[in-house]
Chains A and B, each alone.
Chain A
Amino acid sequence: AAGVIQSPRHLIKEKRETATLKCYPIPRHDTVYWYQQGPGQDPQFLISFYEKMQSDKGSIPDRFSAQQFSDYHSELNMSSLELGDSALYFCASSYRGRSGNTIYFGEGSWLTVV
């Protein structure tokens, strides 16, 4: 079965640079989520989109923005990168129509800021 696809898997950027992460949700899923997991931390919710519209916001810094496109893929844009942005970024997707709404995660994108 198709899973959530994230790219790139690894990314190294310098401080103050910009990075863009991409996510392709499971086909027919209508909701996309972005999570950030720092070393030794639990995944923290950043932002979600439902049917290409921003749905909910979590602890996403103002330097970050995200959007969902007409083909349902999503991109997380991170600007003015800081060392503390180094983390594993997960994209997840779900189908809202089902009660409870289990979300399925991608493999993650490792961002290292140097």
Chain B
Amino acid sequence: DQQVKQNSPSLSVQEGRISILNCDYTNSMFDYFLWYKKYPAEGPTFLISISSIKDKNEDGRFTVFLNKSAKHLSLHIVPSQPGDSAVYFCAASRVASGGSYIPTFGRGTSLIVHP
């Protein structure tokens, strides 16, 4: 049972436009959310995160929005650049019994930004 869902396996956007990647989660115990970017044969690179006490966090071209009531978060990239082309993973985490924050990942969305 997928607790974190990225329903769009791929997204194609023109350079300079906005990219919006969506993510839904089912477990209301999640209280920290992260976005990672991944290139083939490389490890996920942390992009941006948001705590459940906030509804927006911005870092340069990247903004994450959190809608707790809808259990939905989104990543906005504006303006999109060809170098942003990668797979983007949404992750939701909570403190596990042993005290570690354990992120649960979605299946990823492949973003292609066309020049």
Contacts and interface: CB of A to CB of B under 8 A. Distances in A.
A39 B34 CA distance: 22
A55 B99 contact: yes
A84 B51 CA distance: 36
Given A4-B43, A42-B106, A90-B43, A96 B89 contact: no
B86 interface: no
A94 to B, nearest CB: 7
Contacts of A48: 96, 98, 100, 102
Interface string A78-108: 0000000000001010101001111111111
Given A43-B105, A55-B100, A104 B89 contact: no
Interface of B: 4, 32, 34, 36, 41-46, 49, 51, 89, 93, 96-108
Interface of A: 4, 6, 31, 33, 40-45, 48, 50, 54-56, 58, 90, 92, 94, 96, 99-108, 110
17 contacts: A4-B43, A33-B100, A33-B102, A41-B107, A42-B106, A48-B100, A56-B99, A92-B43, A94-B101, A100-B101, A101-B100, A102-B34, A104-B46, A105-B44, A107-B43, A108-B41, A108-B43
